[in-house]
Structure 1
Amino acid sequence: LTEGRPRVPDGVPRDGVPEDEVLRLAATAEQLSEHPLARAVLEAARERGIQPLPAGDTQVVPGLGVAATAAGHRVWAGSAEFARRQGAAAEAALQAAERLGAEGKTVILVGRDDRVLGVIAARDRIRPGVRGAVAALKQAGLIPVMLTGDRAEVARAIAAELGIEEVRAELLPDRKMAAVDELAAQLGPVAMVGDGVNDAPALARARVGIAMGAAGTDVALETADVVLVSDEVDKLPFVFELSRRAARTVWQNLAFALGVIAVLVTLTLLGRIDLATGVMGHEGSTVLVMANGLRLLGARPAEHRSGRRVRAAARPREREAA
Structure 2
Amino acid sequence: MEEAATIRAVAIDKTGTLTTGQLRLARVQILAHASEQWTTDQVLALAAGVHEFSEHPLAQATLRAARAQQIRPLSATDFHSVPGRGVRATVAGSEVQIGNSRYIENADAGALQAVDQLEQSGHTAVLLKHGSDILAVLAYADTLRPTAAAAVRQLRQLGVERVIMLTGDNEHVARSIAQQTGVDEYHAGLLPTDKMRTLQQLKRQYVKVAMVGDGVNDAPALAASSLGIAMGGAGTDVALETADVVLMADDLLNLPYVIALGRSARRTLLVNLGFALAMIAAMVASIFSLDLKLPYAVVGHEGGSVLVVLNGLRLLGFRPKPATGSAPSSNK
Aligned to 1:63: 84
- Cα distance change, pair 90–249 in 1 and its aligned pair in 2 (3 A): farther
| Correspondent of 1:50 among 62, 67, 71 | 71
Report whether the alignment pairs 1:81 with 2:96. no
Alignment counterpart, residue 118 of structure 1, candidates 120, 136, 143: 136
Partner of 1:238: 257
- CA shift for structure 1 position 271: 5.5
1:256 aligns to 2:275 (yes or no) = yes
> For the residues of structure 2 that align with 1:104 and 1:282, how far apart are their CA atoms?
64
How far apart are 1:190 and its partner, in Å?
0.6
CA distance in 1, matches of 2:120, 2:227: 33
Asked whether 1:272 is paired with 2:291, we answer yes
Residue 217 of structure 1 and its aligned partner are, at CA, apart by 1.2
TM-score by length of 2: 0.87
The superposition leaves residues 86-135 of structure 1 with CA deviations (integer Å, 9 ceiling, x where unpaired) of xx325421211111112221111111122211001111101121111112
State how far apart, in whole Å, the 2-side matches of 1:272 and 1:105 are.
79
Indicate whether 1:294 and 2:285 are aligned.
no
Whether 1:8 and 2:29 are equivalent positions in the alignment is: no
Tell whether the 8 Å contact from 1:98 to 1:153 is kept in structure 2 after alignment. no
Which residue in the other structure is 1:319 paired with?
A: none
Structure 1 residue 140, shift from structure 2 partner? 3.3
- Return the alpha-carbon distance in structure 1 between the equivalents of residues 317 and 296 of structure 2: 33
Report the RMSD for the aligned CA atoms in angstroms.
Answer: 1.6
Listed one character per residue, the Cα deviations across residues 116-166 of structure 1 (whole Å, up to 9, x for unaligned) are 110011111011211111122234332210111111221112112222241
Match among 94, 115, 118 for residue 100 of structure 1: 118
TM-superposed CA distance for 1:235, in Å, is 2.5
Report SS of the residue matched to 1:51: coil
Which runs of 5 or more residues in structure 1 are unaligned? Answer: 311-322
In structure 1, what is the Cα distance between the partners aligned to 2:111 and 2:288? 85
- Partner secondary structure for residue 302 of structure 1: coil
Q: Mind listing any 5+ residue stretches in structure 2 that lack a counterpart?
A: 1-17, 326-332
> Is residue 2:199 matched to residue 1:180?
yes
Provide Cα deviations, 1:251-283, integer angstroms capped at 9, x if missing partner: 001111111111112222446211111111111
Q: What percentage of residue pairs aligned between the two structures are identical?
A: 48
Counterpart CA distance in 1 for 2:169 and 2:73 is: 25
| 2:20/2:143 contact within 8 Å kept | yes
Return the offset for 1:5.
0.8
Structure 1 residue 187: Cα displacement: 2.5
How do 1:91-170 and structure 2 match up within 5 A? 91-142=109-160, 143-170=162-189
Q: Which one has more relative contact order, counting CA pairs under 8 Å at least 6 apart?
A: 2
Tell me the distance in 1 between the aligned counterparts of 2:184 and 2:284.
Answer: 56
Deviation at 1:309, TM superposition (A): 5.5
- The Cα of 1:238 is off from its aligned counterpart by 2.0
Residue type of the alignment partner of 1:9:
A
For residues 141 and 39 of structure 1, the distance between their equivalents in structure 2, rounded to whole angstroms, comes to 37
Letter in 1 for 2:44: L
CA–CA distance in 2 between the matches of 1:134 and 1:309?
Answer: 11
